[in-house]
């Protein structure tokens, strides 16, 4: 989980500009990364589309073994 958290640190500054953040909740046995948006990201209409795409690309670039990323509510 520490490795995934390190990759999220690359994205956090962009989220924090708008008083939002992302939290790593779990990594499943099937290498699905489960995330939860916090702060202003929770209610942002762009969070579930463009942000999850950006998070997935960043995480999978650094860790290709990740099968996917899920956004939890």
Assign residue 38 the CATH number of its domain: 3.30.300.130
Write down the pLDDT at residue 1.
81
pTM: 0.86
Helix (H, G, I), strand (E, B), or coil: what is residue 2? helix
Is the pLDDT reported for residue 19 higher than 90?
A: yes
Q: Tell me the residue range of the domain where 57 lies.
A: 2-72
- Distance (Å, whole) CA 8 – CA 21: 10
Count of domains forming the chain: 1
| CA R_g for the chain | 11
Cβ atoms < 10 Å from Cβ of 71:
19
Q: 24-73 pLDDT, tens per residue? A: 999 999 999 999 999 998 888 877 777 788 889 989 988 999 999 999 98
Tokens describing residue 61: 């670039």
């Amino acid at each position: 989980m520490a490795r995934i958290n390190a990759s999220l640190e690359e994205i956090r500054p962009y989220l924090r500009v708008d008083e939002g953040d992302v939290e790593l909740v779990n990594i499943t046995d099937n290498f699905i990364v489960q995330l939860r948006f916090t702060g202003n990201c929770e209610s942002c209409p762009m969070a579930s589309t463009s942000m999850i795409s950006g998070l997935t690309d960043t995480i999978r670039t650094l860790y290709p073994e990740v099968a996917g990323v899920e956004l939890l509510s």
